Structure 1
Amino acid sequence: MRVVLAEDQALLRDGLVRLLTAHGFEVVAAVETGPDLLDALISHRPDVAVADIRLPPTFKNEGLVAALEARSALPRLPVLILSQHVEPLYARELLSDSAGAIGYLLKDRVSDVRSFVEAVRTVAAGGTTMDPEVVAQMLARRSRDERLGALTPREREVLAAMAEGHANAGIAARLVITEKAVSNHINMIFSKLGLLPDLDGNRRVLAVLAFLDAA
């Protein structure tokens, strides 16, 4: 699986290259600026891009801008964005593209190698994954919504796990319940939130994220 990586810190960039290579990825380009990221994505057309939000020259949102611009030229180009802190505005920009194959993780998650590699593979396969802290802030922002208030504590746990991109089996293992119980919780969540219950895996994540991110 071919990867384009964008990270301005040399030590972290080299570490990510080694980590990805050790897990079977081929890093076809490792760049440090927004313009270089855009050029690399267009020229290499990788299976997935892993990019820091803040890149030179201004260290604002060059990584995100380059990734979204590349997706306009290469529809559904898988992009996993890394961020030092939760930045809701930038997360919203990423989520505004409802085509899937997107991810948003805090850099701290890279230290959990298995979860990071799983996130890269999920996005590359067309799925969606969001950092638990991003999901928590979305839930907090919508906490006054009557529909969210109607959810039980367990349903909120299942909702958060869904928004992070976990499948039913993963949610069951995480919460130590049966997959049938997970399915029942999800049906109740969809009913209470007014979402279609028959969405496929990635569309259900996007539907939940769209609901949580609504103004």
Structure 2
Amino acid sequence: MRLIGKKRLVLLVASLAVAGCDAPQPSDADIQRSIAIADEFQSRLQSKLGRALQNGGPTNAIAVCAEAAPAIAEQISAETGATLRRISLRPRNPGAETIGELRERLMALAAKPTDADGNPALDNWVDRRGDAATHYTMRAIIMKDQPCAACHGTEIKPDVRAAIDERYPDDQATGFRAGELRGAMLIALPRKAPGEK
């Protein structure tokens, strides 16, 4: 599990806290837990994609990613009690599209997808509904030259393009350059209501 330094964590919470003095604030523990969940998802998916690329190249990876990514997200959600999903301004899967405030937050992340140390940027906030509250963490997914460019870059080979079109006829997730925001992992951690065990 990759942890962030306490000083960086304090600055992060201060800079990304929801506006308003009485708004609930993200806790250090919730941020750390969300980072660990995002790391676990990334590790499991990269392992499956790496094997798929070795065993059949990018066209095989597209098929594996289409099935493995949602299955891994569902598995980790069940294991942790959190809700994990991927979102994007230019989604491959229509279920990853964002609207409203979530889209605005993702656009802000796209403007600065990495932190001062070059790590994927985070956005943390707490949404309170009555006595219950949910802690949200959005962590940037950064476009990398390899292996991401084969399926998400600016020069997609015809067989790869055909495989994408077959599975995702409304795909918007190509044309990215290294370092750009490709999407984000959104982790929701329910907070217990007062008195709840």
Q: TM-score, normalised by structure 1?
A: 0.24
Which one has the bigger strand percentage?
Answer: 2
Q: TM-score, normalised by structure 2?
A: 0.25
